Structure 1
Amino acid sequence: MARSPSNTRKNHEPSRVPAWVWLFTGAVLGAFIMFLTRLSEIQPDQGKSNSSPKESAKESQKPRFDFYSLLKETEVPTPKAAKPKTSQPQKISPKQEFLLQVASFQSMKDADQLRAELILLNLDAYTERAKIRNGETWHRVIVGPFTSKSKLSKARSILLSNRHEALVLKRSPQG
């Protein structure tokens, strides 16, 4: 039987090594030769250094940390403060109340829009008109009033988490 033409071609072609294999092999061989060259330049340590005895004493000396002893010497006694009661939330005196002013707008429409957003955040928000010195009317968006500092802090953290800076106002309950 005659051989097929594809088998004869495979047997007669020499096997080729890809170019990247030659490149990689050359790089590894070059790195090895450089390593051997550098290794031959290093002089072996014969146990004795050529430096003076003072320099060798400095090298063998370990670093000292005086922080702990200095800290004990500079300790300052502090008076013991009375611990606040944390079980009960701090109540604000009935003579004052705290409010959070979130924003102030010239347009009532803008103030109402922000008030609606704050109501959706479950905050007790309202608007109030304020006349300033030159007769302009501004519409303030207010959250509150708050009867305890913990409720004030909670509302302020909700506002901050929703990217609203709030100004804390202290007022008497009458207005």
Structure 2
Amino acid sequence: RFNFYDILPESTVTAPKVEEYRFKQKSGSEDYFYVIQTGSFKNRADAERQKATIAFKGLKANIETVTNDKGTVWHRVKTGPFTNRSKLNSALDKLVSLNIQPLVKKVKKDS
């Protein structure tokens, strides 16, 4: 005969506090945002064309013109910034559906 049903209500077990199991807020998530570079072109017209293509998917893009150390001018097409991972992933899905291979850049916010 088991005494389990009589003994159980009278006993209590206190679990030890383990630091690893306590919820920890992710730190630094507000310190960064993400920008997606969709392309880099020598010809500005090509950059404008890609910007328009991206706009048809509902993404606002801008063109950043830079000159490298050798004096070559490049026109980078970028969209963002994204502070929310789900919006970032949604934008990436739209770009991939356009057969664009995006580059995600993590940018630290200015203090």
TM-score for both structures, normalised by structure 1: 0.46
Structure 2 counterparts to residues 60-79 of structure 1, below 5 A? none
| Shift of residue 172, structure 1, vs aligned partner | 3.0
- After superposition, the Cα gap between the structure-2 partners of 1:133 and 1:122, relative to the gap in structure 1 and judged at 3 Å, is same
Change (3 A) 1:160 1:131: same
Residue segments in structure 1 that go unaligned for 5+ positions in a row: 1-79, 85-90
Aligned partners of 1:92 and 1:149 also within 8 Å: no
Aligned to 1:113: 49
Q: How does 1:4-43 map to 2 (within 5 A)?
A: none
Q: Please give the alpha-carbon distance, in whole angstroms, between the structure 2 residues aligned to 1:168 and 1:103.
A: 11
Q: Which has the larger radius of gyration?
A: 1
Are the structure 2 counterparts of residues 151 and 138 from structure 1 closer, same or farther at C-alpha, using a change threshold of 3 Å?
Answer: same
Mark the CA change 1:155 to 1:82 in structure 2 (over 3 Å): closer, same or farther.
farther
Letter in structure 2 aligned against 1:130: V
Distance in 2 separating the partners of 1:162 and 1:83: 40
Shift of 1:82: 7.3
Q: Distance between the aligned counterparts of 2:94 and 2:23, measured in 1? A: 28
Match of 1:126 among 48, 62, 66: 62
TM-score by length of 2: 0.70
Match for residue 101 of structure 1 among 9, 29, 37: 37
1:151 is paired with a residue whose SS is: helix
* Separation in 2, partners of 1:158, 1:96: 22
Quote how far apart the aligned CAs of 1:150 are. 0.8
- CA deviation after TM superposition for structure 1 residue 128, in Å: 0.5
1:156 corresponds to which residue?
92
**Equivalent residue pairs, number:** 89
Q: Secondary structure at the match of 1:135?
A: coil
**C-alpha distance in 1, partners of 2:90/2:36?**
11
For residues 22 and 94 of structure 2, what CA distance do their matches in structure 1 show?
Answer: 31
Give structure 1 regions of 4+ aligned residues with deviation exceeding 6 angstroms: 80-84
- How much has 1:137 moved relative to structure 2? 0.9
Alignment gaps of 5+ in structure 2: 1-19
Sort the Cα spacing of 1:164 and 1:82 in 2 relative to 1 into closer, same or farther, 3 A: farther
8 A Cα contact 1:97 1:171, kept in partner: yes
What's the C-alpha RMSD, in Å, of the aligned pairs? 2.4
CA spacing shift, 1:81–1:165, aligned 2, 3 Å: farther
Whether the 8 Å CA contact 1:92–1:148 is kept in 2: the answer is no
